[in-house]
Amino acid sequence: MIMCFLRAGNGAHYDSGACRMPDPSEHFLARSFGALQENVRRAGPAATAGYTLIAAILLLGGAGYMVDQWVGTASPWFLLAGMLLGIVVGFYELAKTVWKP
């Protein structure tokens, strides 16, 4: 109950339905899985942004590597350009997620 009052914050009203004591008849695993599911739901956009960042770097870096192999360059310039482009695209997607209106 103390956490319910702390969440209410500066002059906000206390909603008794939002913060309640656990039901003793509900199994602790059901409560744990419910809490895990809620945490995963809230972390979804951040996880998606992180996976997008890594995927963009790997995909575009791999495409640059393939272009290096296809052209037959002795230096990995296309690989580096692909990785740099992947970083730019990945951080752009990350910024869209973080600064969503």
pLDDT above 90 coverage of the chain, percent? 35
Average pLDDT over residues 48-66: 92
CA angle 56, 94, 97 (to 5 degrees): 130
Does residue 90 fall inside a structural domain?
yes
The number of domains in the chain is 1
Q: How far apart are CA 97 and CA 49, in angstroms?
A: 7
Does residue 83 fall inside a structural domain?
yes
Does residue 72 fall inside a structural domain?
yes
Domain limits at 62? 42-101
Does residue 25 fall inside a structural domain?
no
pLDDT surpassing 80 at residue 23: no
Does residue 33 fall inside a structural domain?
no
Does residue 2 fall inside a structural domain?
no
Determine the residue type at 84. Answer: L
- The confidence band for 1, taking pLDDT boundaries of 50, 70 and 90, is very low
Length of the chain in terms of residues written? 101
pLDDT surpassing 70 at residue 60: yes
**Residue, of 6 and 53, whose pLDDT is higher:** 53
